Structure 1
Amino acid sequence: MSIVTDAKNGIITDEMKIVAEKEELDPEFIRRGIAAGRIVIPVSPYRKVKLGGIGQGCRTKINASIGASSDIIDMQMEIDKAVAAEKAGADTLMELGTGGDFLGIRKAVCDAITLPVGSVPLYQAFIQAAEKHGSIVHMTEDELFKATEDQAKAGTCFMAIHTGINQITLDRLKKHGRYGGLCSRGGAFMSTWMLHNEKENPLFAQFDYLCEILKEHEVTLSTGNGMRAGAVHDATDRAQVQELIINSECAEIAHDKYDLQVIVEGPGHVPLDQIKTNVQLMKVMSNYKPFYMLGPLVTDIAPGYDHITTAIGAAVSASYGCDFLCYVTPAEHLALPNIDDVITGVKTSKIAAHIGDMIRLGKREEDLAMARARRELDWEKMYEIAIDGDHARAVRNSRAPGDEDACTMCGDFCALKIVNQHYDLAK
């Protein structure tokens, strides 16, 4: 029996109670949200994970993505990045390795952390097919479904499954074209396989079988966005919207017929003036299922600073109702992220999520507490409230002031200290 089945039957499970306490919500609200498909709690029967709610009424959650590439295969580094991501405050982790021992690295990562772990089994199936058969186009459908089941048994809690790439979607892409090409690895793999074999995407054609596998292992389905834009000039085009239509229909079947938890993935590069449209379109089309935004990056001209361009887009996305944000690191578009990149990506996205929740959920208590601490020049309290208090303390200590109440920005002429000496502005 799945958590969705329990929710539909009116049962409040321990998982729902834990999430309700964390979110400061009524457990019945969480149960109703799961029953309606508007909240998910990623779990796994194969490992104990840190529980968190994603969706309606819950705080915006952050995903960190790691994984070895064909150029850099270092299991210990991937483990260290996973541990660093959890320590920095990520809510989930996606292990997206495309190099080396897929299952071995993923198992080691899962063993090292308590975060729910996600994956893209399609990567493994296609790359193993290239190694075994000489080309990705020779992958068999059975190999694709076997990779899905193998990763589920390894303790994967949620999977990005590219259900929305079908012949209609591909027709839209070919007719309309793209300024920035196709940036999704999953989209590139699957579309190439379909074109070569002149066959439908098995994840779409055999969607019922896919759902049976995911249900057996209690995996949350995240409908992958293989047609997402890789450039802001391609945002919200026909291929992306067509894929959303298919994904929304698949999401409805998965939840209503198979009692699966479902997340709907959204685009990656979106100009600021289209974010509201994308979030609202995704929400209405999918019947308000949890929405997972990959970024989004709001400009394409800042390589090396894409964690900042993403933070801008992510904050706006969360304010309009996006539930789940995939971080972007400073290495995006340039290199495989290292540990420092991962930490920077997580903390930057946490700031963006908080900014969004200030609007979406009205969560402003911490900002009020910080305002009062600053007014009182209570530095220890400021460090306690800060998203990264250790970093704030280190910056201040690196340029320590002569007056311990002030900082070296204003020194002897600290506005707050001057005013505090003459009248009380406490509120």
Structure 2
Amino acid sequence: MNYSTQMDAAKKGIVTKEMEVVAKKEGMYVEELKKRVAEGTVAIPANKNHHSLDPEGIGLGMRTKINVNLGISKDCCDIEAEMVKVKKALEMKTEAIMDLSSFGKTEEFRQRLVEISPALIGTVPIYDAVGFYDKELQDITADEFLRVVEKHGEDGADFVTIHAGINKEAADVFKRNKRLTNIVSRGGSLLYGWMELTGNENPFYEHFDRLLDICEKYDITLSLGDACRPGSIHDATDASQVKELMVLGELTLRAWERNVQVIIEGPGHMAMNEIEANVLLEKKLCHGAPFYVLGPIVTDIAPGYDHITSAIGGAIAAGSGADFLCYVTPAEHLRLPSLDDMKEGIIAAKIAAHAGDIAKQIPGSSEIDYKMSKARQQLDWKKMFELAIEPEKPTEYRESSMPAHEDSCTMCGKMCSMRNMNKIMEGKNINILREDE
């Protein structure tokens, strides 16, 4: 039986090879996974032209996935340097990479990325439009914007961020409700600027059916972007953000009618006490569609450390039901991330995702924590490093400051609680001041 997309297959009762892979990874019955894909509560982004893909599921009952942002810009347009980051991100087993390229040989970078990457590939076509056509923003036509989406589909993008929710009605709400940081989404600000400069409706909203034609053709998952995400904790959960979310919920139903999978993008900067409510709001207004969050960043005063502020928010969001975390690096708000910035961002996001999975009680999520605790109890340093979310740093720390006794560290020495409790439980003498007999 033929099918156009993963959702179309699920609705027809077909188990695709991608569903089989995801079900095995998640330890889930494939029939249950198929049901969730048909309902839209799980998405399996899998462009027909991404032949190196190792598919992942995003959504209800799945492990929380993480995304890494990479790409070339006008100030930093070294493709080879970005490819080094790509290979390291894949080595660190990130589930998704978003190509945010906005200048230079964007097509070459995107095609090379798709060719080698088993991870999901996402793009933001509007970033590419200005350079692709070599036109000023206001001179690009609605048709040209959509043709860029088609090109990204041809090249194998598994999901595309499209800011279709910032229509004229949502823009009017933004104008009537003053914000501290206005519109901080890069794609959202470009679309809002285009609408203001041309007087036209958002082309992705006005021609949403044509957008769905493209997505259905290549099986692109729509990542419905949050143009009005808060860029400061002051602006969180305001009228602009909620109005756009309502529009995204309506567009979600239209996409599902066409068997196009949907992910909803979310905040942004947000105080910790608002995060759980925002996850609930997205799930209600967008009918249980998978939720993809940037952070949330829980305080605005930590430039250089926003991988930490976002990991705090990401853990709370994931534990509350968010499905997909976009990493944030120490360079957020400051520069294009370096290789080391990227590594720090990945580790922070992985910690947040895993902590969220434990809170959500994803089956098997805490098994590795049990094994780590057992290794600590046994003072099995090699095993601890094998189980670590990133083994390089703890190994380096241990080797840089070796204790006199292997069954301790240089913090506690022979006063180590694990060492001494093991000896006492075995009926042995502790011998803190003397050598062991």
TM-score, normalising length from structure 2? 0.94
Tell me the SS of whatever aligns to 1:377. Answer: coil
Counterpart-to-counterpart distance in 1, 2:325 and 2:62? 13
How far 1:127 moved relative to its partner?
4.0
- Give 1 or 2 for the bigger CA radius of gyration: 2
Q: Which residue of 2 aligns with 1:229?
A: 230
1:382–1:189 CA distance, 2 compared to 1 (3 A): same
The one of 28, 32, 45 aligned to 1:29: 32
- Deviation larger for 328-337 or 180-189: 180-189
In the alignment, structure 1 segments of 5+ residues that lack a partner are: none
Deviations 1:23-58 (A, max 9, x none): 111111110110000001111211220111100000
Gaps of 5+ in 2: 428-437
On the 8 A contact 1:102/1:124 being kept in 2, the answer is yes
Range 118-127 or range 62-71, more displaced: 118-127
Distance 2:323 2:116 in 1: 26
Aligned residue pair count: 421
Matching residue's letter, 2:261: Q
Structure 1 moving runs of 4+ over 4 Å = none
Q: Map of 1:28-47 to 2, 5 A cutoff? A: 28-47=31-50
Structure 1 position 173, deviation (Å): 0.8
TM-align CA RMSD: 1.3
* Equivalent position of 1:240 in the other structure: 241
Give 1:299-318 correspondences, 5 Å limit.
299-318=299-318
Task: Tell whether the 8 Å contact from 1:89 to 1:346 is kept in structure 2 after alignment.
Answer: no
CA distance in 1, matches of 2:56, 2:403: 41
CA contact (8 A) 1:18 1:51 kept: yes
Offset at residue 274 of structure 1 (A): 0.5
Once the two structures are superposed, the pairs formed by residues 62-211 of structure 1 within 5 Å of their partners are 62-129=66-133, 131-132=134-135, 135-211=136-212
From 368, 373, 381, the counterpart of 1:371: 373
- Aligned match of 1:286: 286
Distance 1:28 1:424, change over 3 A: farther
1:405-420 equivalences under 5 Å are 405-420=407-422
Pairing 1:370-389 to 2, within 5 Å after superposition: 370-389=372-391
Structure 1 residue 353 corresponds to structure 2 residue 356: no
Equivalent residue for 2:7? 4
Per the TM alignment, residue 252 of structure 1 is displaced from its structure 2 partner at its CA by: 1.0
SS state at 1:265 partner: strand
Kindly state the Cα deviation for residue 394 of structure 1 after the two structures are TM-superposed: 1.6
Other structure's SS at 2:23 match: helix
1:19 corresponds to which of 18, 22, 26: 22
Alignment match, 2:433: none
Q: Note if contact 2:15-2:30 (Cα within 8 Å) is conserved in structure 1.
A: yes
Percentage identity across paired residues of the two chains: 41
| Structure-1-length-normalised TM-score | 0.96
Deviations, residues 85-143 of structure 1 (Å, cap 9, x unaligned): 111221100000112111111112222322111001111123445x33xx211111111
Distance in structure 2 (CA, Å) of the matches to 1:220 and 1:189: 22
AA paired with 1:59? R
Contact 2:50 2:158 in 1 (8 A): no
Q: Give the distance between the partners of 2:77 and 2:96, measured in 1 at CA.
A: 22
Describe the superposition over 1:150-204 as per-residue Cα deviations: whole angstroms up to 9, x where unpaired: 1111111000011101011111111111112221111111111111111101100
